[in-house]
């Protein structure tokens, strides 16, 4: 078990952000602060950071003491960003970075209930509030549980798992991660060398409990409006569902607009793309990084540059 988080694709992220003196950056996923501190050390710049996890905020407060004039941490979700920007009079950023998903601090603490590797309460809430994973498996209808596991875990055996969950909870509700993981292992079996059979179900519950996919979309919408021209948006994703959202967002904003214009009468027609895709294939970790930090293995970094001030920004 670790009590730290090794930042993923760190030097690639720093290059992608194009960090300069006097510029302002938003690290929207503070976590252990690895990205924020590396950005602060790279230039005489300002960094604002966000996280929804109160424990990450406590770590951010320590970094505020170290860089009192250059760093500030804010508590909230990506979907709170517009509100935070309005309340705190944020100006547009020279760069925004999202390192999606969970930190090692979260996964490796049994009491947060993210991992089937440790016995802990079946929780999985990043912000420690709202519906827990235990409430989902103990109270949702079988069909809804199956749909969550299929949609957010892409688990083909979702119906069998949901049925087993609903039958088991009649005898005794689920309270721990190990309890759910061992039921899934009993139902699906475990092949030597393959990933744990509960992996996809745990991913699905985590995504659902934290509303992660809608949050990713909210974060990207914010970045679209709150980047200066030439500002960079850097994203690091960890699974295909997240990466698909980023790719769709980038594709829609890097190609010229086709078809009917949605402009109002009198507005100037424009079919200019909003972003330039600097690495259309994305950047994956090196073999060396994967060996040193196996958690980086499924990561992919994407970087786009904001091209011009659109009419929505006037
Ligand atoms: C992978 S970690 C970031 C690690 C960080 N880059 C570092 O170097 O330490 C992701 C962090 O983003 C936070 N997070 C995930 N989704 C969020 C959301 N929708 N709003 C705010 N924070 C979120 C998590 O709580 C977690 O602390």
pLDDT tens digits, residue range 198-236? Answer: 999 999 999 999 999 999 999 999 999 999 999 999 999
140, 74: one domain: no
Q: Does 300 lie in the same domain as 253?
A: yes
Cβ-based burial of 309 (10 A; exposed 0-12, middle 13-18, buried ≥19)? exposed
136 and 165 both lie in a single domain: yes
Distance CA 195, CA 201 (A): 12
Same domain assignment for residues 201 and 219: no
Query: What sign for the dihedral angle of Cα 171, 174, 175, 177?
Result: positive
- List of the chain residues with pLDDT < 70: 1-2, 256-271, 309-314
CATH of the domain at 23: 3.40.50.150
Distance CA 210, CA 127 (A): 8
The answer to whether 176 and 115 have CB atoms below 8 angstroms apart is no
Q: Is residue 120 part of a domain?
A: no
Phi, psi of 203, rounded to the nearest 5 degrees: -60, -45
Helix axes 10-17, 34-42, angle to 10 degrees: 50
Residues 94 and 227 occupy one common structural domain: yes
Q: Are residues 216 and 99 in the same domain?
A: yes
Q: Is residue 3 part of a domain?
A: no
Same domain? For 205 and 216 the reply is: no
Ligand 1 centroid, distance to 55 Cα (angstroms): 11
Q: Does 180 reside within a domain? A: yes
Q: Look at residues 209, 224, 255 and tell me which one is the last residue of a structural domain.
A: 209
In a domain, 28, yes or no: yes
Which region, left, alpha or beta, applies to residue 246 given φ > 0 means left and ψ of -120 to 50 means alpha? alpha
Alpha helices in the chain (DSSP H): 10-17, 34-42, 54-66, 81-87, 104-107, 133-139, 142-153, 158-171, 177-188, 199-209, 212-226, 240-254, 287-292
Residue 4, domain member (yes or no): no
Task: Report the separation in Å between the CA atom of 99 and the middle of ligand 1, taken as the mean of its atom positions.
Answer: 6
Supply the pLDDT for residue 264.
Answer: 57
Length of the chain as a residue count: 314
Domain count, the chain: 2
283 lines ligand 1 (CB under 6 A): no
Judgement on whether residues 262 and 237 belong to the same structural domain of the protein? yes
Q: Which H, E and C letters describe 247-283, residue by residue?
A: HHHHHHHHCCCCCCCCCCCCCCCCCCCCEEECCCCCE
Residue 118 maps to a domain: no
Q: Which atom of ligand 1 is nearest to the CA of 27?
A: 6
From atom 9 of ligand 1, which residue's Cα is the shortest distance away?
A: 32
Q: Which residues contact 87 (CB under 8 A, 6 or more apart)?
A: none
CA distance 250 to 231: 15
Closest ligand 1 atom to residue 212 Cα is: 19
Domain termination residue (choose one: 176, 193, 209): 209
19 and 168 assigned to the same domain: no
Beta bridge partners of 75: 51
Ligand 1 pocket member 114 (CB < 6 A) = no
60 ligand 1 Cβ < 6 A? no
Is 97:17 a contact under the CB 8 Å cutoff? yes
Does 218 lie in the same domain as 305? yes
Q: Give the domain-ending residue among 209, 239, 258.
A: 209
- Please, are residues 302 and 279 in contact by the beta-carbon 8 Å criterion? yes
* Cα 307 from Cα 228, distance rounded (Å): 9
Summarised one tens digit per residue, pLDDT across range 21-52 is 999 999 999 999 999 999 999 999 999 999 99
Give Cα separations from 253 to 70, 97, 275, 279 (angstroms).
32, 18, 6, 14
Q: CA-CA distance, 119 to 70, in Å (whole number)?
A: 40
One domain for residues 189 and 225: no
In a domain, 46, yes or no: yes
- In the reported structure, the alpha carbon of residue 231 is separated from the centroid of ligand 1 by a whole-number distance in angstroms of 21
Q: Give me Rg for the CA atoms of the chain.
A: 21
The CATH number of residue 150's host domain is 1.10.150.170
Q: Is 206 in the pocket of ligand 1 (CB under 6 A)?
A: no
Would residue 189 count as lying in a domain?
yes
The pLDDT assigned to 292 comes to 96
Nearest CA-CA partner of 19 in 37, 39, 4: 39
**Residue 17 and residue 99 in one domain:** yes
For 199, the domain range is: 128-209
């Amino acid at each position: 078990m670790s009590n730290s988080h090794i930042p993923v694709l760190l030097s690639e992220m720093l290059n992608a952000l194009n960090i300069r003196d006097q510029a302002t950056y938003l690290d929207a996923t503070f976590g252990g602060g690895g990205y924020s501190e590396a950005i602060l050390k790279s230039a005489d710049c300002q960094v604002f950071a966000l996280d929804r996890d109160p424990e990450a905020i406590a770590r951010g407060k320590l970094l505020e003491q170290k860089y009192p004039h250059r760093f500030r941490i804010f508590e909230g979700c990506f979907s709170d960003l517009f509100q935070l920007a309005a309340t705190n009079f944020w100006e547009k950023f020279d760069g925004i970075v999202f390192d999606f998903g969970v930190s090692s601090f979260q996964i490796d603490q049994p009491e947060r209930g993210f991992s089937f590797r440790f016995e802990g309460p079946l929780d999985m809430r990043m912000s420690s509030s709202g519906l827990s994973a235990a409430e989902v498996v103990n109270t949702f209808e079988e069909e809804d549980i199956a749909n969550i596991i299929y949609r957010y875990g892409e688990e083909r055996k979702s119906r069998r798992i949901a049925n087993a969950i609903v039958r088991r909870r009649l005898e005794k509700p689920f309270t721990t991660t190990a309890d759910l993981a061992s039921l899934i292992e009993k139902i699906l079996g475990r092949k030597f060398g393959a990933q744990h059979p509960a992996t996809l179900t745990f991913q699905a519950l985590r995504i659902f409990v934290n509303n992660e996919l809608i949050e990713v979309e909210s974060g990207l919408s914010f970045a679209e409006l709150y980047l200066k021209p030439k500002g960079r948006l850097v994203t690091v994703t960890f699974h295909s569902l997240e990466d698909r959202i980023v790719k769709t967002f980038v594709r829609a904003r890097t190609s010229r607009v086709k078809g009917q214009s949605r402009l109002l009468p009198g507005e100037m027609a424009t079919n200019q793309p909003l972003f330039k895709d600097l690495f259309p294939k994305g950047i994956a970790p090196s073999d060396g990084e994967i060996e040193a930090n196996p958690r980086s293995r499924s990561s992919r970094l994407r970087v786009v540059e904001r091209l011009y001030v659109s009419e929505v920004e006037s």
